[in-house]
Structure 1
Amino acid sequence: MWFFEGMLSLSPVNSVLGVLFFVVGLSLVFMMLAMIVSQKSRYESDKMISFECGFDPLSSSRIPFSLRFFLLALLFLVFDLEMILLFPYVISVGSCYLSVGISAKFWGFIFLMILVGGLFHELNEGTLDWEMDD
């Protein structure tokens, strides 16, 4: 029925090795193609210096940076993780609202209140205000 049915019969080990060699060979071809196409000939002094968040990489690394920037970055990570936890809950409650138990709705509400409470605390503390302290 199939064209290749009687011509080639491979054992499972040989078929896995064949796929492995194909994937490795294909990735090597793509890496060589990327090296050929890339623009490595354009070495300029400004492009060779690493860029570290606006700081001069050739100066001392002990220069203090803004604590407000650090706190804002931590806040972003915390709220980002909370949003990652919140999206599956919203999807599950939205798709099957009646079958979700009252306990799951209660804990989802508590989670949202903690999130909103933390946001109001940060607003009240002034972490999110970017006015200059002259």
Structure 2
Amino acid sequence: MWFFESSGVLGPYSSLAGVSVFIIFMGLGFMGLAVMVSQKWRYESDKLTSFECGFDPMSSSRMPFSLRFFLLALLFLVFDLEMVLFFPYIFSVTNCFVELSVMSKIWSVIFLLILVLGLIHELNEGTLDWEMDE
């Protein structure tokens, strides 16, 4: 195709530019297709309520959600991601054939320090305390 061939203007990056333009137009085309296909028709209140055997709903179908669950899940994701990032370092330390540089050891200590300081901060803030303070 003509946009994959190299030209004198961009040199060796012309094929990369052509592919980038092609991907952008393809993405815009798919987004336009999705907008056309997913036309939302008029909403009726009966369609949006929960179904209770033809009767009007007795109460709201929305249940209150405690913010503590959200905070705990968010903390789990953050600390879990940090541990996943730390696993390659653990495996490289246990491998006897790899000699780590001093800078690599310093960065790993800084990473662990940030992890521990974040955990101490969350403990001091009381985010991990499950009991409700009245």
Give the TM-score normalised by the residue count of structure 2: 0.52
Rounded Cα–Cα distance in structure 1 between residues aligned with 2:115 and 2:66: 25
Task: State how 1:1-134 maps to structure 2 within 5 Å.
Answer: 59-61=60-62, 63-96=63-96, 99-134=99-134
Question: Which structure's relative contact order is higher, taking Cα pairs within 8 Å and 6+ residues apart?
Answer: 1
AA of the residue aligned to 1:101: S
Stretches of structure 1 lacking an aligned partner (at least 5 in a row)? 1-57
Compute the RMSD of aligned alpha carbons: 1.9
Question: Deviations along 1:33-74, whole A, 9 cap, x unmatched?
Answer: xxxxxxxxxxxxxxxxxxxxxxxxx9423x431111101000
Stretches of structure 2 lacking an aligned partner (at least 5 in a row)? 1-58
AA of the residue aligned to 1:99: E
Shift >6 Å, 4+ stretches: none
Identity of aligned residues (%): 68
Distance change in 2, residues 1:100/1:66 (3 Å): same
Distance change in 2, residues 1:116/1:107 (3 Å): same
Give the TM-score normalised by the residue count of structure 1: 0.52
AA of the residue aligned to 1:128: L
Contact 2:92 2:98 in 1 (8 A): no
